[in-house]
Structure 1
Amino acid sequence: MVKTHGNEFRPDYAVAPGEVLGEELEVRGMTQQELAKRTGLSPNYIVSVVQAKSSITPETALKFERTLGMPADYWLNLESEYQQALPWDYE
């Protein structure tokens, strides 16, 4: 079921940024370990993001932009939309 808030459309599901990241890595043939090495982030943090246990910070988004060529704003918008949708998932 779709929820609305005023005139704003909000689907009743949210896609975690980590899910998008995992798919992007798969398409590129890149492992999480390789992404960690290229970004200077810990492998545990990358795993945690992919599993939707950790959020993407502005610093992380910039590192993803430099490494994957996908704008930092893209990652931050995904994170923001995901966080905003979370409470609605549990109604």
Structure 2
Amino acid sequence: MNRTTQNRYAPDRAVAPGEVLAYELEVRGMTRAELARRAGLTEKQVIAILKGKGSTIITEETAIKLERAIGMPVDYWLNLETNFQKARA
């Protein structure tokens, strides 16, 4: 995957990983169902991440699956989640 597509979304505030994921899906023209299939997640899990609902956080396992599905590095997702959780505290 072309690494120049990384980190295009750069707001000046801490954002939920789901917000970034929604942006990346839109840019790629990828549906939630397609992401779920590629990542080995259920569509319900993808929706929970996108909405930031409940106890849904980006774990290392989820980050690995997202990297495989859309090519954005594991560390990117984990750092995004950590920064978001710190901002919420």
TM, length-normalised to structure 2? 0.81
2:85 & 2:32 partners in 1: Cα distance?
23
Q: Which runs of 5+ in 2 are unaligned?
A: 1-12
Q: Which runs of 5+ in 1 are unaligned?
A: 1-12
2:39 is matched with which residue? 39
- Matched residues, percent identical? 57
Q: 2:28 is aligned with what amino acid?
A: R
Q: Which has the higher strand share?
A: 1
1:38 & 1:18 partners in 2: Cα distance?
17
DSSP-derived class of the 1:56 partner: coil
TM, length-normalised to structure 1? 0.79
Say how many residue pairs are matched. Answer: 76
Q: 2:75 is aligned with what amino acid?
A: D
2:60 counterpart (26, 37, 58): 58
**Which ranges of 4 or more aligned residues in structure 1 deviate by more than 3 Å?**
none
Question: Which has more radius of gyration?
Answer: 1
Deviation at 1:40, TM superposition (A): 1.0
1:25 is matched with which residue? 25
Q: 1:74 is aligned with what amino acid?
A: Y
